[in-house]
Amino acid sequence: MTTEKQLIANRKNGKLGGPKTAAGKAAVRLNSVTHGLLSKEVLIKGEDAAELNRLRNNLMAEKAPEGELETMHVDRIIACLWRLKRILKAETAMLNYDFN
């Protein structure tokens, strides 16, 4: 159970915010990329940019979006498909991991 004193300290620390300097912000920019599942970046280190571009080119040609809104929707589909592929790879690796 959190004490009142801890709550006050937590609130005080929370007001301090995150990094202030450009170097500090750059250092934490990719914190969520550990496994890439929650990353804001579609393409993360170790992934094939050419493969992502092929997927984008193929889907753009297939769906032929008209206008900015449709293009944004196709881009969202591409990002979701790419992340789903990443999740499936992570799941396979985890299921094949020998915990003994």
Residue 87: alpha-carbon gap to chain centroid? 11
The least confident of 54-58, 84-88, 90-94 is: 90-94
pTM above 0.85, yes or no: no
- The reported pLDDT for the residue numbered 93 is 84
Nearest to 47 by CA among 90, 15, 1, 6: 90
Alpha-carbon distance 94 to 86, whole Å? 12
Q: Name the average pLDDT for the chain.
A: 86
% of the chain at pLDDT higher than 70: 89
Nearest to 87 by CA among 58, 47, 51, 50: 47
Length of the chain: 100
Residue 30 near residue 41, CB atoms below 8 Å = yes
